[in-house]
Amino acid sequence: MGLRDKYKKNDKPEFQPLDLNEMNVQAIFKRCLTTNNSPKPGEDYNSVIFGRDGGYAEDHQPVCFNIKQLRANDETIRFLFGQLQAIHQGKKQFSVEDSILKYNGTNWTSNKGIMMELLYLGEASATITPFIAKTGKANVALVKPTLSPKDPKFAEWYKGYEAEMKKAEGPTPDEK
């Protein structure tokens, strides 16, 4: 299968489930960063996870992402967040510390910078909300639990996940 075959008619790459790990988070983060020196309205988005709107004294280091790249990676970003223990525990809000543990109880990273990259991607893709100063938490209510492709139960679980995602997308123009 060639690279062109991996793209659907809407130029979005075919979804490939990924394990939540440092390498995958960094690759998506770098892919989604803007290539412009200054943000362009309609093309770029400044992600702020700790901001004045959330009750913080000032906006904490905005990260500028390319909107087209975010859209191309949004399902993968949600899938990575779904592997967090807090999501599997049914939490509707989570703290920064909750973003370190995978559903199996292991740390997916010990690098706070890479952990922050995941959080910025989450906010920029509307997977999570910005953090609120009063509670120190972000809303993750819409994130569904997922499994790592490395999990022995993944193959069986993924069949149901694919069916659910296809149902959520609705019929394609060919199926109408």
Confidence of residue 6 (pLDDT cuts 50, 70, 90): very low
| pLDDT at res. 27 | 98
- pLDDT above 90 (res 8): no
CA–CA separation, 10 and 78 (whole Å): 19
Confidence of residue 2 (pLDDT cuts 50, 70, 90): very low
- Tell me the per-residue pLDDT of 140-157, one tens digit each, with 9 for 90 and over: 999 999 999 999 999 999
- Tell me the per-residue pLDDT of 52-79, one tens digit each, with 9 for 90 and over: 999 999 988 899 999 999 999 999 999 9
Confidence of residue 37 (pLDDT cuts 50, 70, 90): low
What does the mean pLDDT of the chain come to? Answer: 88
Q: What does pTM read for this prediction?
A: 0.86
